[in-house]
Amino acid sequence: MAKLINKTRILYFVSLIVFTGTVLTSTVAAQDLVQFDFKVKPTINNTCITNNASVNSDPNKPPEGQTSAITQIGNVANGCSTKIVPGKLNLKFNFSGLDNKEQDLIKQSFDSVAVSPQAIQIYTDAYNNNGGVLTITKDGLNKPFAQVVGSCGNAYILIHAGLYLGSSLVSTQYVIIHEFGHIMRSCNGTLSQAYINSGAYQAEGLVVTYPLSAWFDIYPDCASALAAKGENESFAEMIADYVTYKTYAMPSTRICTNFPAGATYSDYPTRQPLFYNFVKNNIFGGVEF
Ligand SMILES: [Zn+2]
């Protein structure tokens, strides 16, 4: 028997490619299981439908919780679970030193993470808290790395000349989503604390695709680099891998984890499940790539 604690207002949205709108508003008791039935037009078949739900305890305030689910109607090649919900992040960029192809792939990389209301919110919040314009610049250093300079409020992404982003979308996603992950963490203390509380790094160690040897000019070996950088780099890397793990072939062997060159991280969800599920539930609203 559910105990009535307060009244919770439920807003439920449905998007059917051809239609988006509020279809039901009702008030229910807390802890109630709420079920809604939707009728889909008979002309809609062989497609994926995304339902987005948000929950407000006070209709005059932003939602306390959001989620989304994908339903398959009829036959869809490869099923719906791997389908990415189309979305866009409304970001302004300040590019310097990057060619047009690199700029396009960076924009596509950001749009590719807009797969759920939660993801759009969390990326937009970090972007806004960092000043509302994202600077991405390239210097002349011939090293194949990128990094974040500064912290939330004035952070920017610096790409060294030895790293060409314009070779493919997935390699750009891997770099850009990782680097923006650092900005996201510095701009979102709640998310950062949730990551610490999850215990993922303590239980599962360094995210295995991270090239820790990039720090060997400062830290002499894997152990010291791990102690200094492992926890924070795993935060950024777990997000980049979440988006790219099925398709991005790592260009070099990861010296400190022996993750092989040329491999994708196809077993990420089972090999480092605490990391994978943290990203799934805390950043992407349950949507998987
Ligand atoms: Zn990093």
pLDDT tens for 103-144 read 999 999 999 999 998 999 999 999 999 999 999 999 999 999
Query: Given pLDDT bands bounded at 50, 70 and 90, which one contains residue 12?
Result: very low
* Ligand 1 centroid – CA 241 distance (Å): 12
Q: Is 287 exposed, middle or buried (0-12, 13-18, 19+ CB in 10 A)?
A: buried
Measured between alpha carbons, how far is residue 49 from residues 14, 25, 40, 42, 83 in Å? 8, 20, 10, 13, 10
How does strand 156-159 pair with strand 134-138? parallel
Average pLDDT, the chain: 85
pLDDT for the residue numbered 58: 65
Tell me if residue 69 falls in helix, strand or coil: strand
* Ligand 1 centroid – CA 282 distance (Å): 19
> How far apart, in Å, do the first and last CA atoms of the chain sit?
38
pLDDT for the residue numbered 71: 74
pLDDT (average), residues 96-101: 97
Phi, psi of 175 (to 5 degrees): -70, -50
Helices (H) and strands (E) in the chain, counts: 8, 8
Predicted confidence (pLDDT) at residue 2 exceeds the cutoff of 90: no
Distance CA 273, CA 268 (A): 7
pLDDT for the residue numbered 86: 59
* Ligand 1 centroid – CA 234 distance (Å): 8
Neighbours of ion ligand 1 (CB under 5 A): 233, 236
Q: Name the nearest CA neighbour of 122 among 288, 289, 281.
A: 281
Half-sphere exposure of 163 (CA within 13 A, CB side): 20
Strands (E), 32-133: 47-56, 65-73, 93-96
Q: Residue for token digits 């490869």?
A: 78
Rounded to the nearest 10 degrees, what angle do helices 273-282 and 189-198 cross at?
A: 150
Which amino acid, residue 3?
K
- For the chain, how big is the Rg over CA atoms in Å? 21
* Ligand 1 centroid – CA 84 distance (Å): 25
pLDDT tens digits, one per residue of 171-212: 999 999 999 999 999 999 999 999 999 999 999 999 999 999
* Ligand 1 centroid – CA 276 distance (Å): 17
Q: Which of 69-78, 110-119, 236-245 has the highest mean pLDDT?
A: 236-245
* Ligand 1 centroid – CA 85 distance (Å): 27
